[in-house]
Structure 1
Amino acid sequence: MSELASEPSGTTLAGRVWERMRELVVDRYDRRKQVVDELGLSFVKAKALRRLAVRPMTLGELAEELLIDRPYATVLVDDLEQRGLVERRVRPEDRRSKLVEPTPAGHAAAATASRILSAPPAALLSLPPEDLLALDGILDRLRQREATNTNSRPGRSGASRTSSTP
Structure 2
Amino acid sequence: MRTMVLDLYDRRKEVCAALDMSFIRAKALRHLAAAPMTEPMTMRRLAAELVTDAPYTTVVVDDLVRRGLVVRDVHPDDRRQKIVTVTAEGAKAAALAESILTEPPPPLRTLDPADLAALHRILTALARR
Normalized against structure 1, the TM-score is what? 0.69
Corresponding position of 1:4: none
Corresponding position of 1:160: none
Alignment partner of 1:102 out of 60, 65, 86 = 86
Alignment partner of 1:138 out of 94, 97, 122 = 122
Distance 1:127 1:93 in 2: 52
Shift of 1:86: 0.4
Corresponding position of 1:10: none
Encode CA deviations 1:63-104: one digit per residue, 9 max, x unaligned. 111111111111100111111110013334434422111111
SS of the residue corresponding to residue 94 of structure 1 reads coil
Matched, 1:52 2:32: yes
Q: Over aligned residue pairs, what C-alpha RMSD do you find?
A: 1.6
Distance 1:139 1:71 in 2: 37
Structure 1: runs of 5 or more not aligned: 1-20, 146-166
> How many residues are treated as equivalent by the alignment?
125
Alignment partner of 1:38 out of 4, 18, 36 = 18
Q: 1:143 to 1:95 in 2, by over 3 A?
A: farther
Higher mean alpha-carbon deviation, 128-137 vs 110-119, is at: 128-137
Q: Please say which structure displays the higher CA radius of gyration.
A: 1
Distance 2:26 2:115 in 1: 32
Alignment partner of 1:87 out of 71, 75, 79 = 71
Corresponding position of 2:8: 28
Alignment partner of 1:77 out of 46, 58, 61 = 61
Shift of 1:144: 2.6
Matched residue type, 1:73: T
Corresponding position of 1:119: 103
Structure 2: runs of 5 or more not aligned: none
Normalized against structure 2, the TM-score is what? 0.87
Question: In 1, are the aligned partners of 2:5 and 2:105 still within 8 Å (CA)?
Answer: no
Encode CA deviations 1:91-133: one digit per residue, 9 max, x unaligned. 3443442211111111111011111111112211111223222
